[in-house]
Amino acid sequence: MTRPSPPHLGLPGFAPYRIAAHLECFLVVCLLGLAVQGCHKMENQPLSTMAFASPDPTPSLTPASAPLPEGEKAPVVRGTLRLEIPAVGTLRARQITNIGPQVTGRVEAVLVDVGDRVRAGQELVRIDPTFFNIELDQRKAEVENAKVALANAELNYNRMKALWEVPQEQSPSIPQKLYDDAKAQYNAALAQLKVAEAALRYCEKRVRETVIRAPYDGIITKRYVHPGEMVTSMPVSRLLEIQEIQTLELEFSLPQTMLSQVHEGTPVEFSVEGIPDASGSAAIAIVYPDIDEVTRSFRCRVYLDNPEGKYRPGLLAQVRVCIQEIHGALIVPRAALNQKGEEWRVTVLKDNVPEIRAVQVGLVTENQVEILQGLAEHEVVLVPKTAS
């Protein structure tokens, strides 16, 4: 039995089975071309953009402890906690004296200048003593004359006294008037001698006052005269200004709300900028009773020893007045605390693992906090890193 021939496609010279074979070859070539082009594209594609199938993906690992937040570690310590109130004070000399003459005359010499440190009794200014010495010689002569007059009056009085004062059974050899006159002359001569001696002492004092001396240990801060100038005692001419700086006064003001917490003996710390090691501690010596009506503040005074002259009058000082002090307090940095509602919390590092813990706080200062409950000494808290 013969196989029937396929239907004729109407193409001369081509049998139908040959056309099918050619179509199959064409399709194979196209598929191979597409495969080669796809491989070329994958070869140039980054590995990160290529997707791979994972039949059994590995699960992610969780670390044994959470990572530590950024910040610093601070141990919990015991110490003294002070609540301090800041203030600004001014250093002042304990004594300021404008030195003037007690006699009128011409300045002979000025022995010191501004900035010189002087001792009590040291010569500062000399006034020409010529006229005062002449007057002194006159007063000395008057004293000698008074002494001679007194000696004659005393001799005459003793003579009259011997003639007048006789036993009762005898009569005086002289009348009473002579005795009374002799006694009066003696008393007058005695008084005249006292006047002359007083005038001599006054003149000697004026001679001494031609040399002006320092009234106390201090430093010369101003000079007003030069040699050759005339100065007067009335009105008083200014010669020099001297300030006592062995002890300085530090005065500052506090608000009236602190009046009940500050008293004599309250400890004070101070520091002065611009001077090396210019810090120290003292105690309030005077709390002024009056209140400034404009600023509603009161003044306090502290005395500072200044034997080496390190501090100077007029300097500005930063003052911290301690109004509360707790010894043996459990202390952490204030920055370690954070508040959630009414609860205070800290982050404690226990075996290098952060743990948030609620605490009870006591005294709170600018940089430190007293912990009453929730922490123990030598534990470590985390201080969050502040944004710069």
Residues of the chain with pLDDT under 70: 1-70, 386-388
Q: Which residues contact 110 (CB under 8 A, 6 or more apart)?
A: 124, 125, 223, 225, 226, 227, 239
Query: Is residue 42 situated within a structural domain?
Result: no
Looking at the structure, do residues 219 and 245 belong to the same domain, yes or no? no
Looking at the structure, do residues 89 and 129 belong to the same domain, yes or no? no
Looking at the structure, do residues 211 and 324 belong to the same domain, yes or no? no
Looking at the structure, do residues 88 and 153 belong to the same domain, yes or no? no
Count of the separate structural domains present in the chain? 2
The confidence score (pLDDT) of residue 52 equals 32
Residues in the chain: 388
Closest-CA residue to 381 (of 355, 360, 362, 363):
355
The confidence score (pLDDT) of residue 169 equals 76
Looking at the structure, do residues 273 and 294 belong to the same domain, yes or no? yes
Looking at the structure, do residues 261 and 130 belong to the same domain, yes or no? no
pLDDT tens-digit readout, 99-123 = 999 999 999 999 999 999 999 999 9
User: Is the CB of residue 91 less than 8 Å from the CB of residue 272?
Assistant: yes
The confidence score (pLDDT) of residue 386 equals 67
The confidence score (pLDDT) of residue 237 equals 95
Domain final residue, candidates 171, 203, 231 = 231
Phi/psi for 340 (5° steps) reads -125, 105
Domain holding 169, by residue range, is 100-231
Query: Is residue 65 situated within a structural domain?
Result: no
User: Where residue 152 sits, what CATH number does that domain have?
Assistant: 1.10.287
Looking at the structure, do residues 264 and 380 belong to the same domain, yes or no? yes
Give the other-Cβ count within 10 Å of 110's Cβ. Answer: 18
Query: Is residue 50 situated within a structural domain?
Result: no
Looking at the structure, do residues 221 and 247 belong to the same domain, yes or no? no
Looking at the structure, do residues 343 and 278 belong to the same domain, yes or no? yes
Query: Is residue 34 situated within a structural domain?
Result: no
Domain final residue, candidates 231, 259, 293 = 231
Looking at the structure, do residues 378 and 245 belong to the same domain, yes or no? yes
User: Where residue 87 sits, what CATH number does that domain have?
Assistant: 2.40.30.170
Query: Is residue 69 situated within a structural domain?
Result: no
Query: Is residue 274 situated within a structural domain?
Result: yes
The confidence score (pLDDT) of residue 307 equals 86
Query: Is residue 275 situated within a structural domain?
Result: yes
Query: Is residue 10 situated within a structural domain?
Result: no
Q: Which residues contact 56 (CB under 8 A, 6 or more apart)?
A: none
Looking at the structure, do residues 218 and 246 belong to the same domain, yes or no? no
Looking at the structure, do residues 275 and 351 belong to the same domain, yes or no? yes
Domain final residue, candidates 204, 231, 258 = 231
Q: How far is CA 180 from CA 103, 156, 174, 183, 192, in A?
A: 43, 11, 11, 5, 18
